[in-house]
Amino acid sequence: MTSAAEVVVVGCGPAGLAVSYCLIERGVSPVVLDKAGQVASAWRGHYDRLHLHTTRDQSHLPGRPFPGHWPQYVPRAKVVEYLDDYAQALGIEPRMNATVRSVERYGDSGWQIGLEGGETIGASHVVIATGFNRVPHEPRWPGMETFSGRVRHSVDYRNGSDLAGRTVLIVGMGNTGAEIALDVLEHGGRPVLSVRGPVNIVPRDILGRPTAKTALLLGKLPPRIADPIGSALRRLAVGDLRRWGIDTPRMPPLAQLREEGRTPVVDVGTVKQIKRGNIRVVGPIQAFCARGVELETGEMLDCEEVVLATGFRSATDELVPEIRGALDPRGHPPGPFLGRGFEGLHFAGFDGYSTGGVLRSIRLEAPGIAARIVA
């Protein structure tokens, strides 16, 4: 079966909802598709203790601020509630359980969206809003099949309620790995963090002020001024962690975000527990064995659980193979538009290079995408 639409939005998370809002404001009702059964499925699936690391006033979507009495750092469950209310207030009725398999050029000025099951939809404009976290990155090591414990990606981790008394190896110290280690500890487990390389760490608040707000101010300054200030604040607030097994990159936190799209670890208590000896830091894994892992140092580490906090791939080129040569070095769309030859194709929610967080970037870019569609 083939149908037609003026605009199709692929993804019903924050980016898809934001662009839909801006389109509806301009008199266009898009067809919104999502592979899950509910709005904002990624947020529903995150671990329980997650809070926004950016402040409430900077993290809302277009036209609808977070309620003023909500916490400064909005918890995951409240974000889900907000996104549900956002969709309902707009009257958006997305097609759920609609898995997009392909987006291909159709004719001279259109695109064809292929769905699981064989249905196709022709559209003048397609907005890809599937986000950074579409496909979990799950590395493999020799001997994994011999391990007697459980190995799972962070996408399947909710909380540590069943981990009391167990040694849990968390692989990767991004924001997710650092927080899961803290969660395991708070539930009575013994967390061990496997860290491969240097890590930029900043506290969520510095001297009572949200670091996210300080970063926005520094982002207005030339890098030659902002980067040394950011590095000095990091040294003041976090210090030298080499004695605990964590090196600091030479690249300042803001430069790493700006140039590589890598968000610093926003610390909410993990560093304190590392310094107290309650969370151990080790190096990379060499191989698995029946009772645990062998580290690259040669040490054998016994553990009952392994959580892979190894990130995700946006994998947009798997949906739209034509864009493969136009992606940035990290495999993401370099902006909302790819330029000549890709007219009618738009991307929302892939700006991981700006200060203030992805939700703020979505709020700022969504009106421009809608304006380009509805000229």
> Rounded to the nearest 5°, which phi and psi values hold at 72?
-55, -45
Lowest-pLDDT range of 8-17, 102-111, 239-248: 102-111
Res 187: pLDDT: 98
Question: What's the CA gap between 232 and 253, in Å, rounded?
Answer: 10
Res 375: pLDDT: 77
Res 207: pLDDT: 83
Lowest-pLDDT range of 106-115, 276-285, 340-349: 106-115
> What's the CATH number of domain 2-134+314-373, 2.40.128.50, 3.40.50.150, 3.40.50.1820, 3.50.50.60?
3.50.50.60
What DSSP element (H or E) covers 44?
A: helix 41-45
Q: What's the rounded mean pLDDT across residues 160-184?
A: 97
165: left (phi over 0), alpha (psi -120 to 50) or beta: left
Res 1: pLDDT: 47
Is residue 2 over pLDDT 70? Answer: no
Domain map (residue ranges) of the chain: 2-134+314-373, 138-308
Res 4: pLDDT: 53
Average pLDDT value for the chain: 94
Residue 84 burial (C-beta neighbours within 10 Å; 0-12, 13-18, 19+):
middle
Res 120: pLDDT: 94
Is residue 353 over pLDDT 90? Answer: no
Residue 266 binned pLDDT confidence (cut-offs 50, 70, 90): very high
Q: What's the rounded mean pLDDT across residues 314-326?
A: 93
For 276-313, the pLDDT digits (tens) are: 999 999 999 999 999 999 999 999 999 999 999 999 99
Q: Which amino acid is at 49?
A: R
Is residue 262 over pLDDT 90? Answer: no
Res 352: pLDDT: 83
Question: What's the CA gap between 144 and 288, in Å, rounded?
Answer: 5
Question: What's the CA gap between 282 and 233, in Å, rounded?
Answer: 26
Q: What's the rounded mean pLDDT across residues 5-24?
A: 94
Is residue 5 over pLDDT 70? Answer: no
Please report, rounded to a whole number, the percentage of residues in the chain having pLDDT higher than 70: 99
Domain 138-308, classified CATH 3.50.50.60, yes or no: yes
Q: At what angle do helices 253-260 and 223-237 cross, to 10 degrees?
A: 130
Res 354: pLDDT: 86
Compute the Cα dihedral for 258, 262, 263, 267 and give only its sign.
negative
For 113-134, the pLDDT digits (tens) are: 999 999 999 999 999 999 988 9
Res 95: pLDDT: 94
Residues 333, 323 contacting (CB under 8 angstroms): yes
Q: Which amino acid is at 194?
A: S
Is residue 23 over pLDDT 80? Answer: yes
Res 53: pLDDT: 95
Res 3: pLDDT: 54
Q: What's the rounded mean pLDDT across residues 148-164?
A: 97
Res 339: pLDDT: 85
Res 329: pLDDT: 86
Q: Which residue has the higher pLDDT, 244 or 260?
A: 244
Please report, for residues 64, 138, 155, 196, 288, the alpha-carbon distance to residue 309 in angstroms, rounded to integers and kept in the order given: 32, 9, 8, 12, 17
Is residue 343 over pLDDT 50? Answer: yes
Q: What's the rounded mean pLDDT across residues 217-240?
A: 92
